[in-house]
Amino acid sequence: MGVVLTKEIVRVDQVVGEDKAQAVVEGIINLPAGKPDISRVISVKAEVDLDSLKISILDGKIMVEGELEVDAMYVANIASQPVHAVEGRISFSFFAKVPGAKKNMAVKVMPKIEYSKFSFDPQRPREISASFVIQFLVKVLQRVEVEVAVDATGPADLQVLKETVKLDHIVGDASSQSIAKGDIAVPNVKPDILEIIKVQGTARTTQVKVLDGKIIVEGVLDVGVLYVARVPENQPQQPVHFLEGQIPFTTFVEIPGAKESMTRIVRVEVEHIRGRKKDDRTVSVEAVIKAMVRVYETKVLDVIIDLFSPSEKLEVKKIELKVDQVVGENENQIIVKETVNVPDPKPDILEIYSTNATARIDNARIIDSKVIVEGTLLVETLYVAKVPEGQPQQPVHFMEHEIPFTTFVEIPGAQENMMLDFDLIVEHVTASFDPASPRKMEVRAIIKLFAKVTETIEIEVVTEVIEPEEEEKPEKPEKPEKPGEMPPEKPSLTIYIVQRGDTLWKIAKRYNVTVDSIVKANNLQNPNMIMPGQQLIIPR
């Protein structure tokens, strides 16, 4: 009688390896024609353009080339419009070493800008020099689709050994682009628009739904506009103003097989945004929004890792599976509130233009089934200053603050030696101030922590069982028994002394008997509890 296996297809990302690399990126941002010369640089911000990355793999080395998108704001010696914005790009390249990496494998690059510095030479008033230190985490993955046996039927004495594994079965990942359009109106208390200096925006999700293999993403584009005002001569000449608004958007990503019950990870980001003056009281905004979605289903499988039959000879085929077994995952959201002071050299706040924040991880660890993350909220604020008459009218200023925070998520079963993969996102940040206290500002940020704890397991799983054809053996003539001689007796039992590392399965397979027969012969209460030196009866 043959063995019939019940199989299940599992699609997983096997981790080939990972490496960290650091790159120092330096470059010059040149002012385009039409922009006035620089008097002072206010701020320089940069972001790695992940879509620009060109990745090549050769003999375990990963070469990465890409570009930094740099945004700078500066002051010009023009009273009617002192503040200007300029954009530029700086190229970079680096390599990482991951033994075993091959051309057809997937490479995940996660950048983190750890340090930035900018300078300006008055002798070169059309250039901004910028340098950045970027930490890159490079992970190489190979997506494999394997059939694993989860059940078996066959001879009555078929012995099956299973092991429970918890895997992320990847249903699919995809991305899409969409256009968000809308108008932002100038509030009644604000003056008319003369010229737009800069438009910036961030995207966030408000709702995610799954419908017939489509992931529907609804969200909001938060828009900020810095502009030069048309101020009548008889009013205080504060030329730079700020307004903000929201534009809703809906987009979708197609992932065949996706269902509402499955886990999905959704990211939205603004790839490009621009605004134009529609009229004196309205700004028309158009943004390209990219949605990135991964859908997976955590499967708990009892996979067959070995089998045999005492009554039949079986040929068992196996493959080695190296995967990240999911111990658990969870998320938590915290609100960080802190009152910060305007640094002494800076003037008082008249109006806050924009506040941006990123989270820096200072320490992450697993303690007693908890993932604890300690970090720092890096806050950058552009504001319009309240400058007394008679002093240089530099209306826009920049300041930075660091706010420490601690957050955690509970993941039962998580241990210190396991792998921790987490994502820390600043979902929203706002800043406000009381006009009666123009040197204090309250920062409020919503930080979301998503953590997953895994442990890499290497496990041999059964994929096929073959019943070998029986070889015809020539019959041996029976040796005639001598008169009065009894045939030799075969031993009916064997005494075995348990060795270190033994299990009942190993012993039963070695002597080609069933596990149950050993349990019954020795009246074992717990088959999983056998000790070195213990004597076991092996029935024959």
Nearest residue to 535 via CA among 504, 497, 492, 501 = 497
**Are 239 and 385 contacting, i.e. CB atoms less than 8 angstroms apart?**
no
The pLDDT of residue 489 is 56
Span 10-18, mean pLDDT? Answer: 81
What is the reported pTM?
0.69
- pLDDT at position 434, please? 93
Structural domains of the chain sorted by starting position, each given as residue range(s) with its CATH number in brackets: 1-154 (no CATH), 168-298 (no CATH), 313-469 (no CATH), 492-539 (3.10.350.10)
pLDDT in tens, 274-288: 999 999 999 999 999
What are the distances in angstroms from CA 304 to CA 159, 466, 510?
11, 15, 18
Q: Is the pLDDT of residue 313 over 60?
A: yes
Angle at 138 between CA 136 and CA 144, to 5 degrees: 160
Q: How far apart are CA 345 and CA 389, in angstroms?
A: 17
Residue percentage of the chain with pLDDT more than 90: 52
Question: Do residues 412 and 328 make contact, with C-beta atoms less than 8 angstroms apart?
Answer: yes
Contacts of 307 (CB under 8 A, 6+ apart): 3, 152, 158, 159, 160, 161, 314, 316, 462, 465
Question: What per-residue confidence (pLDDT) applies to 28?
Answer: 95
- Measured distance CA(101)–CA(15) in Å, rounded: 10
362 or 478, greater pLDDT: 362
Q: What is the pLDDT of residue 158?
A: 93
Read off the pLDDT of each residue in 94-120 and give the average, rounded to a whole number.
90
Structure confidence at residue 438 (pLDDT): 93
Residue 182, both tokens: 């809308």
**Cα separation of 223 and 445, whole Å?**
17
For the cut 70, the answer to whether the pLDDT of residue 81 exceeds it is: no
User: Residues 211-223: pLDDT tens digits?
Assistant: 889 999 999 999 9
